[in-house]
Amino acid sequence: MKIVILDGYTENPGDLSWEGFESLGELVVYDRTKQEDIIPRIGNAEIVITNKTPLDKKVFEACPSIKYVGVLATGYNVVDIEAAKERNIPVSNIPTYGTAAVAQYTFALLLEICHHVGKHNDAVKSGKWTSCPDFCFWDYPLIELAGKTFGCIGYGRIGQNAGKLAQCFGMKVIAYDEYQNKELENENMRYVDLDTLLAESDVISLHCPLLPSTNGIINKDTIAKMKDGVIIINTSRGPLIVEEDLKKGLVDGKIYYAAVDVVSSEPISEDNPLLTAPNCIITPHIAWAPKESRKRLLDIAVSNLEAYLSGKPVNVVNG
């Protein structure tokens, strides 16, 4: 049985092992695959594993040997799941693997805004402390989180984890979610409507999926309803934010700081307005990527394939 991994590099740049897949068939791994190479590289393989390489109807028509598709991610929009279903090809995804990592990363971004550890380290190494007339200095306002309000838009797995971390820092948590689990409420956590969240939060953190109802949820109208000096964190999906409006909020000083791990189009395009926005930290979609999370993802991908081979496929998104 031939297994083709079309774009294995971001999942495993060399620090993990493909042996789980190797033990199940004849494995060929490509780091990345261009559009024109998709069909020839799949050839007569039965098992196709993809992360972001698109598998559309034409691919399924041209490669009738395909029996199973595994997606190395939670989001599976790169696969035409209906076209796969028409051919009885199950498509399995990884429903969850990086909850703790993404919640932790939310706080890596927030703590960077509160303390600018990296910039202060650079200032010290460049001699600024050596020549300082006082015993200490700081180049940016330093922020204590205790007592501030952490507003989560989306309070699912990652939102709840981030909410727990916020409570550990002494923050009050408010959450806006279409589906509320009232059992999660306590003296430091309560559900609110969106307008209340916008009005009361010192920090707004996005943890909802990208849906028609959430596309552009941070825009000039919602920004106008926020506290002056609010901090915005996005580790979810870039299009949740209208980037021009975020930039304007940063330029005007309405928003104190923003940190985004995701942008509207990835890799980031050179004309993305956030690249030239003040007080805006941008990282290259890495919240999910600690080795521990990627190992978990890989282990689940292998067990998904094992389940399919045993006749009981799991995590099937087109069942």
Catalytic residues: 237, 266, 285
Q: Report which residue's Cβ sits closest to ligand NAD.
A: 156
Give whichever of 68 and 76 is closer to ligand NAD, judged by the CB atom.
76
Give whichever of 117 and 211 is closer to ligand NAD, judged by the CB atom.
211
159 vs 298: CA distance, rounded Å: 23
Chain residues binding ligand NAD by CB under 6 A are 96, 98-99, 102, 153-159, 176-179, 207-211, 213-214, 235-237, 261-262, 285, 287-288
Residue 271 CB burial class (10 angstroms; 0-12, 13-18, ≥19): exposed
Closest distance of CB 192 from ligand NAD, Å: 11
Residue 112 in tokens = 């960077």
Give whichever of 3 and 7 is closer to ligand NAD, judged by the CB atom.
7
Closest distance of CB 152 from ligand NAD, Å: 9
Closest distance of CB 116 from ligand NAD, Å: 22
CA distances from residue 151 to 46, 77, 112, 203 in whole angstroms, order as listed: 46, 28, 18, 6
Give whichever of 194 and 314 is closer to ligand NAD, judged by the CB atom.
194
Closest distance of CB 180 from ligand NAD, Å: 8
Closest distance of CB 27 from ligand NAD, Å: 26
Please name which of 247, 70, 299, 261 lies closest in space to residue 158, comparing C-alpha atoms.
261
Give whichever of 194 and 275 is closer to ligand NAD, judged by the CB atom.
194
The alpha carbon torsion through 156, 159, 163, 166 (nearest 10 deg) reads 170
